[in-house]
A and B are shown apart, each in its own frame.
Chain A
Amino acid sequence: MLRAITLRHLIAHAPRSIYSCRHLGTLVIAEHEGGSLSGTSLSSIEAASKLLCKDNNSLSLLLAGTGPSLQEAATNAASCHPCISQVLVADSDKFKHTLAEPWAKLIHLVQQKHEYSHIVTASSSFGKNILPRAAALLDVSPITDVIEISEPRTFVRPIYAGNALCTIRYTGSNPCMLTIRSTSFPASASLDSKTNAAPIHQVDLSSFGEEGSCRYVKQSKQESERPDLGSARVVITGGRALKSAENFKIVEKLAEKLGAAVGATRAAVDAGYVPNELQVGQTGKIVAPQLYMAFGVSGAIQHIAGMRDSKVIVAVNKDADAPIFQVADYGLVGDLFEIIPELIEKLPEKK
């Protein structure tokens, strides 16, 4: 029965999808700050470049915002990846903040004009907020948090907190809309390979209209000198066992020594030891560093979801039966208040 359905789908959709792929391109929705693209946007470009084939060979980038920093970001973006064929720029006060309402409308407008086969953005809080809204306006189903592109319309995404991997085929009409998990598509190192800069075009916003139902009030950002949690090479995480915000400082001290980012479990965040945006897990940040060190973390399903793809996992816990030891490459059973200071003392200085 299942096979029959699959076959019927193949017959019904294959000719159309081949046809619709012709002369079409991919659009990447990019975020920028301070005149350059965000790291997660570079990952989405990397993912989009995997969609290119002989029928789908153009990669456009859409940037929006206002003022000189937007223009600077566009210039930088135009030569940041060899696959980029053009940069679209929407310059308006409406995009001063990344509000979903004007952004979704913008994507809708750009899609109507250029008819892309794919629209890709990162699974950042920006991408998660805007892409599904834009998809609804275009009446298509988006596919979020893609970790693998098997074919131009076949993708793998984790479900159930990463405890299952689901392979999905998109059979709907264009565009096929994706958010990608940045840690699964690391931006290639050849970023400063100066190829010819792609042309920059302004998006015609004359038909855009007014949008007034949502207003930006303010933003409170955590300023930190430590590397960004999402892209750090080393992440040091503390859990409930740290017992207080004061004690959490030893985790931060160790992170400093290793040049690492600091993460936390939900329990540590809920108890107020650290701010929300440091939460690693199914509903927080997904990280995949070279080294992940978990201190006083029991290893709940929801936490493992956020760090299971780390290259090397170290767990330090008093409880030898803690589930975290099942995913750890190296485990130490003991008191973190003794082990962390010893680590700080004995670890070599970071390069």
Chain B
Amino acid sequence: MKIMVAIKRVVDYAVKIRIKSDKTGVETSNVKMSMNPFCEIALEEALKIKESKLASEVIAVSIGPAQCVDTLRTGLAMGADRAIHVDAPATLFPLSIAKILKALVDVEKPGLLILGKQAIDDDCNQTGQMVAGLLNWPQGTFASKVVLDKEKNVATVDREVDGGLETLCLDLPAVITTDLRLNQPRYATLPNIMKAKSKPIKKMTPQELKVEIRSDMEVLHVKEPQKRKAGVILSSVDELIDKLKNEAHVI
């Protein structure tokens, strides 16, 4: 069984973002970019499954501009066997991404598609669910534990839901999206980074995959959220209780 993992290149999670002066978006040039943290977890899970001999190959996929190749190299250095880069504008919405992923699944025929639960830039939390819907595959979203049973051809997934955990059993092929608690992604070692340079990255276009990019949304503007007014540092618990009672009226 092959596992396909979708990877997104995003502004690094620790960067304090700046909004472009023309309010069209967030500044991404000359900003540190990294693999979306949830995608790292997705890739780690795929690698673990392969290491436990339940999968034969891990394919990393990224959709976006040319620099996505760097992110794919990181994925290859972590241990993915090969990569596919679909050359597309950075501004695609999840529906288009899901359609491209579906087309890639139709070509590669993986038994499992793993994605992060959300990208930390657009915070959409949609792509995995959408591609599962398009493929008519079952979905295990917000996974904190995945157990594969090769004989029965099922995946048992613990999901992080409001108020606790939910366990589902999915017939393969299936789509899984990863939550933070699923695993601890590994670091790429220097030898593996060197090795990754010789691993293949296939380049494709949406046209080759016969996916029509259609946008049904328009970003009108992006602005900063309202700043909170400066607070005060108090000197004692008594003062705090007094302020909460008599100034903020919250207790």
Contact = CB atoms under 8 A, between A and B. Distances in A.
Interface residues of B, number: 82
A209 B192 CA distance: 49
B151 to A, nearest CB: 17
A160 B26 contact: yes
A100 B177 CA distance: 13
Nearest to B184: A270
Main SS of chain B's interface residues? mixed
Contact of B138 (A125, A159, A213): A213
Interface of B: 11, 13-14, 16-17, 19, 24, 26, 38, 93-95, 98, 117-118, 120-127, 129-134, 137-142, 144, 156, 159-171, 174, 179-181, 215-225, 228, 231-238, 240-241, 243-245, 248, 250-251
Contacts of A99: 168
Contact of B231 (A213, A269, A329): A329
A327 B228 contact: yes
Interface of A: 2, 6, 9, 99-101, 104, 124-126, 128-137, 139-145, 154, 157-173, 212-222, 230, 234, 258, 266, 269-270, 275-277, 282-283, 285, 290-291, 301-302, 308, 311-314, 320, 325, 327-333, 339, 342-343, 346-348
B183 to A, nearest CB: 12
B95 A140 contact: yes
B129 A144 contact: no
Closest 7 CB pairs of A and B: A172-B216, A136-B133, A214-B138, A132-B129, A136-B130, A132-B126, A133-B133
B217 A163 contact: no
Contact of A159 (B123, B126, B140, B181): B123
Contacts, number: 258
B133 A331 contact: no
Contact of A136 (B98, B123, B138, B248): B98
Contacts of B124: 144
Contact of A230 (B132, B162, B216, B243): B162
Contact of B233 (A2, A130, A164, A333): A333
Given A216-B168, A313-B231, A166 B162 contact: no
> Which of B19, B24, B133, B165 is the most central at the interface, judged by chain A CB atoms within 10 Å of its CB?
B133
Contacts of B137: 213
Contacts of A270: 180-181
A312 B248 contact: yes
